[in-house]
Amino acid sequence: MRLHVESLGTFYEMAREGAGVAARRLTRMTGIPTRVGVTRLDFTDRRMLRSEFGADRDRVGIRVDLDGGLPGTSAILFGEETAREIVATLGEDVPLDDREDLGRSAIVEVAQVMNNGFVDGWADVLQTTIDVAAPEYVTDDDAESVLGAAALNATHEDLALVFRNSIEAVGTELDFEHYLVPDHDAMAALLADGAQGEGIEHRKLTAFDRMAQLGADRVADNLSKTAGMDVTVDLRRINFLSLDAIPEGVSEEPHVSVAFSYSGVLSGYLLFLYDEASARDLVRSAVGDDATALGGMGQDAIKELSNIMASGLLDGWANMLEETIDHSTPAYAYDMGAAVIDPLIVGLSERQEFAFVFDTRVTAVDSEFDVEMYAIPDEADLEGALSRLEPDRADDTPATAHLRMNEVRAGDPGDLIDGEDASLRADDAVEEVEQP
């Protein structure tokens, strides 16, 4: 199986088109004005997929099996309040507590109309016919209840491809999520069909996932060795989405932000978004600065910590690719989350329309430290780099990374020093960070 970015782009457009048709039909049926929210394709694993369901959200909806041009499983879920509102809007003010009654049929009816909207949009883009089975009412008890055991087990254990769509309502909270879990083999065939060029072998995407995980592990190692911080690094998923859609997924709240550009076997941008409170905590513990504004020393501390994480992530990737990746000195900004990611999107959008985004969160085990990390590689480099990946290389990758430190306060940028020395250098650079 080969994946082509071009084909993924087509499937992305398919998903977005389906969401548009579904949103319009929801509006027509309920009178609720709607807007298509973020559409994304996730490369995730079965374990992560399982963790998304059954988390006390009390969602209800339908599952529909698909066949023909796009075999798989489609599920539509509404949060309980949204479900109540839909039932009320349709004039059937029946409590959802009694799910055997008309409330259930109203939910099935609306969900089915929306699902058919999605399917019609997909079929239109793919120029195929998609067969839709009768909908089955589901409650979000766990992944099996929503997607069905057979569909869940048929996903690739390491690399399940899931399409997600959100639809937002104007004037009311719309707790809605749509999942499309395509049949793995059928999707492989569809992605390969008609695409040009070499593409990316599916087994290499599995290695891609491992590369991302290795980078995340290196971030944790580096923070532990150089800053004495015990952290959890959670690579939640690799998203494939339109560049336009990236800012919308980032908070509008002001964030302390540090950006890097990187180049080498992979190029692109790396952005760290610190929750403001945790940035201040970090600065207070590092330089004792309790002023309301993050001063020069505080900014240096944040930049250095980001530098340590950037080095870890990129060295993890570089080791797996057996190449080098250099990164810039850190650029600091305090601004709205969407506004700081926007220039990076503009930077990439002159060359590409879509991006893989490594969506990662770093949290400290024993403090408030909380940072979001977005790694957005240049698409053209990524295809080339992935072709070098061997799926079993992660297991052979040496444990000691070379740490490329770009000194923030002083010194020569780009010194390549080995792990032990790097620890000392980085310790110097963040000497005031409180040791646990």
Partner 1 sequence: MKTFSGGPADQTHDRLSVGVSEFRVVDEGETLVAYGLGACIAIGMYDPSAGVAGLAHTLLPRADEGLDGSEAKFVDSAIQATLREMIDAGAGYGDVHAWIVGGAQIFDLADLDLPADVGKRGAEVAGEVLAELNVPVVDTAVGGTAGRTVELDAATGELTLVTAADDEPTLLATAVDEETD
| Residues within the interface to partner 1 (CB under 8 A) | 35, 37-38, 40, 164, 166, 168, 170-172, 177, 236-237, 239, 241-252, 254, 259-261, 263, 267, 269, 328-347, 349-353, 357, 359, 361, 370, 372
In the bound state with partner 1, the residue whose beta carbon lies nearer, of 52 and 109, is 52
In the bound state with partner 1, the residue whose beta carbon lies nearer, of 361 and 388, is 361
In the bound state with partner 1, the residue whose beta carbon lies nearer, of 245 and 394, is 245
The set of residues, in sequence order, having a beta carbon less than 8 Å from that of 138 and lying 6+ positions away, is: 60, 61, 62, 63, 75, 77, 145, 146
Question: Cβ of residue 326: shortest distance to partner 1, in angstroms?
Answer: 11
CA distances from 275 to 24, 105, 364 (A): 36, 43, 13
In the bound state with partner 1, the residue whose beta carbon lies nearer, of 207 and 318, is 318
> What is the SS3 assignment for 50?
helix
Per-residue burial over 338-377, b if 16 or more Cβ lie within 10 Å, else e, is bebbeebbebbeeeeebbbbbbbebebeebebbbbbbbbb
In the bound state with partner 1, the residue whose beta carbon lies nearer, of 101 and 342, is 342
What single letter denotes the amino acid at residue 321? L
> What is the SS3 assignment for 21?
helix
99 alpha-carbon distance from chain centroid: 34
> What is the SS3 assignment for 363?
strand
Q: What share of the chain is helix, strand, coil (3-state, %, to 5)?
A: 45, 25, 30
In the bound state with partner 1, the residue whose beta carbon lies nearer, of 230 and 248, is 248
- What is d(CA 77, CA 58) in angstroms, rounded to the nearest whole number? 10
What single letter denotes the amino acid at residue 181? V
Question: Cβ of residue 423: shortest distance to partner 1, in angstroms?
Answer: 25
Question: Cβ of residue 347: shortest distance to partner 1, in angstroms?
Answer: 5
Question: Cβ of residue 261: shortest distance to partner 1, in angstroms?
Answer: 4
Question: Cβ of residue 41: shortest distance to partner 1, in angstroms?
Answer: 10
Question: Cβ of residue 178: shortest distance to partner 1, in angstroms?
Answer: 11
Instruction: Tally Cβ neighbours within 10 Å of residue 55.
Output: 10
- What is d(CA 34, CA 166) in angstroms, rounded to the nearest whole number? 10
Question: Cβ of residue 402: shortest distance to partner 1, in angstroms?
Answer: 22
In the bound state with partner 1, the residue whose beta carbon lies nearer, of 4 and 204, is 4
In the bound state with partner 1, the residue whose beta carbon lies nearer, of 106 and 219, is 219
First CA to last CA across the chain, in angstroms? 48
Question: Cβ of residue 398: shortest distance to partner 1, in angstroms?
Answer: 29
